[in-house]
Amino acid sequence: MGVGAGDRPSRLALAIATSSAGSVSADQTSSLGEAGGPPLMIVEYAGGDPADSARLSAAIEAGPQDACWLVLLQEDAELDVHRLAPRVEARSAELDDDSLVEIGLSLIHEMDLLAENRFLRDTVRIMEDCRALAHCLEPTELYPMCLDLLLGAVDREKGVAVFRRGQGAQNDAFALRGFDDEEASALSGVLLAGGRIDLDAFEGIAVAHQGAFHDAFSEAGIPVDSLLLVSFGGEGRESGVVAVLGDPSGYRAGDIERADIVARHGISALANAGTYATAKDRAFVDDVTSAYNARYLLETVENEIQRADRYGDPLSVLFLDLDRFKRVNDGHGHLVGSETLRSLCRLLERCVRNVDTLARYGGDEFSIVLVDTDHDTALQVADRIRQTVADHSFEIGSGTSLSLTVSIGVSSCPEHGMDRDQLLDAADRAMYRAKAAGRNRIQSASDPG
């Protein structure tokens, strides 16, 4: 019995015409087969009209998945073998116990081969699909791709990927597939609440019937039976979990094996993305303070000006310079000077938002990019920073501390330029005017020089 490469039978049926005596109805069945293998369903059929044939066909369709069916036709029984889905071969035979066992074993063996071939074809297809992951280096794009691949691998329609978009502990990014608008809106609201799903609590692959994901779906009013949960093993900003909704039939061993193929490729891709992100960060990070460097500052200002122009949002830049910092290096040494700069960075980070960018421009000069911030607000932020630095004691060891001040120049977009160099130069010149005016003060780029 040959099968084409495109066929995917879940059941095989073999009709045997026998001259055995007696009459047995179509619903009298027995099941044989080794544990873990496809069951062999034997049914004796003595039907005499088309309705009996239809009932037998329905019984086969409703029977166990991946079962082999051996239909024994009583003498003179009428059966349209073509109605037995999906595949039937009809034979005539005088059966004894040995020949029945031989036929049954042959049928089970063929079913095993077909299942193995089908799994191999699926494995090759999934691995080919997963090759696209190797070309992506952004975790925010990898997780939606992994969700799509998992849905295809286990033949499901609905799923969600929850992951981290940044360094924070909150799960602030997700991707949804297969939900209608109402379901998507409700589930998005639940997931955006944050802190609901601890991504670090998941490991490997599991089929769950309760837990944090079930609670989230329940709160969103989405009924869920089983969930296939796949953790991609990342830590920090790369961590995430994909949850695929099952149906009442649940998940089988083959589904887990297919999901594992996607998971292994996804984990490898995320590791590559993490390596790339680390290398990229190092190229943009100042060696002394671990703040961003001038290269990153220039790229950020360029991007933020374009965004501000596109959406009409305000943008401001602060230029800071420590007053008389040369005296610290000359009087206490460059090691103390470097540690003081690191302490200043930690202090400045507490003065701005996560969405803002702090960078060391060079020497004892720093810059802060304030997104969605107009000029008046930027002046207030600058003065708060100035006062915070002036009130702070910088410990330098042996019970000794330093008091420092900063001079700050403030420029904004579009008032002081729509070009990166114009905006930074305006803030820089304002900062030098603040120094010339006596230090420990702020200066607007709008003020006359």
- pLDDT the model gives residue 110: 66
Q: How would residue 50 be classed by pLDDT, with cut points 50, 70 and 90?
A: low
pLDDT exceeds 60 at position 204: yes
Pairing of strands 393-397, 40-45: unpaired
**pLDDT (mean) for 297-316:** 92
Q: What is the DSSP letter of 72?
A: E
**pLDDT (mean) for 245-254:** 84
The tens digit of pLDDT for each residue in 83-122 reads 554 444 444 445 555 665 566 666 666 666 766 777 788 8
- Whole-prediction pTM: 0.53
- pLDDT the model gives residue 10: 42
- pLDDT the model gives residue 322: 95
- DSSP labels, 289-357: T-SB-HHHHHHHHHHHHHHHHHHT--EEEEEEEETTTHHHHHHH-HHHHHHHHHHHHHHHHTTS-TTSE
- When computed from its CA atoms, the radius of gyration of the chain, rounded to whole angstroms, is 35
Tell me the C-alpha distance between 238 and 296, whole Å.
22
> CA 154 → CA 122, 148, 162, 216, 375, distances in Å?
10, 10, 19, 22, 54
The tens digit of pLDDT for each residue in 26-41 reads 344 444 444 445 566 6
Q: Around Cβ 432, how many Cβ atoms within 10 Å?
A: 15
The tens digit of pLDDT for each residue in 309-365 reads 988 999 999 999 999 999 998 888 999 999 999 999 999 999 999 899 999 998 999
Q: Which domains does the chain have, with CATH numbers?
A: 12-127 (no CATH), 136-281 (3.30.450.40), 294-444 (3.30.70.270)
Cis peptide before 139 (omega within 30 of 0): no
- pLDDT the model gives residue 193: 75
The percentage of residues in the chain with a pLDDT greater than 90, rounded to a whole number, is 49
Query: Which 3 state secondary structure label does DSSP give 362?
Result: strand
- Helix 334-349 to helix 375-391 angle (10° resolution) is 130
- What sign results for the dihedral spanned by CA atoms 219, 222, 227, 228? negative
- DSSP labels, 82-100: GGSSS-EEEEE----HHHH
Tell me the C-alpha distance between 40 and 104, whole Å.
7
The tens digit of pLDDT for each residue in 134-188 reads 888 888 889 999 999 999 999 999 999 998 765 544 446 889 999 999 999 999 9
365-371: strand order across its sheet:
357-362, 365-371, 315-322, 406-413, 442-444
Q: How would residue 66 be classed by pLDDT, with cut points 50, 70 and 90?
A: low
Question: Are 210 and 224 within 8 A, CB to CB?
Answer: no
Tell me the C-alpha distance between 319 and 398, whole Å.
32
pLDDT exceeds 60 at position 259: yes
- pLDDT the model gives residue 86: 46
- pLDDT the model gives residue 4: 30
- Which range, of 273-287, 375-389, 396-410, averages the lowest pLDDT? 273-287
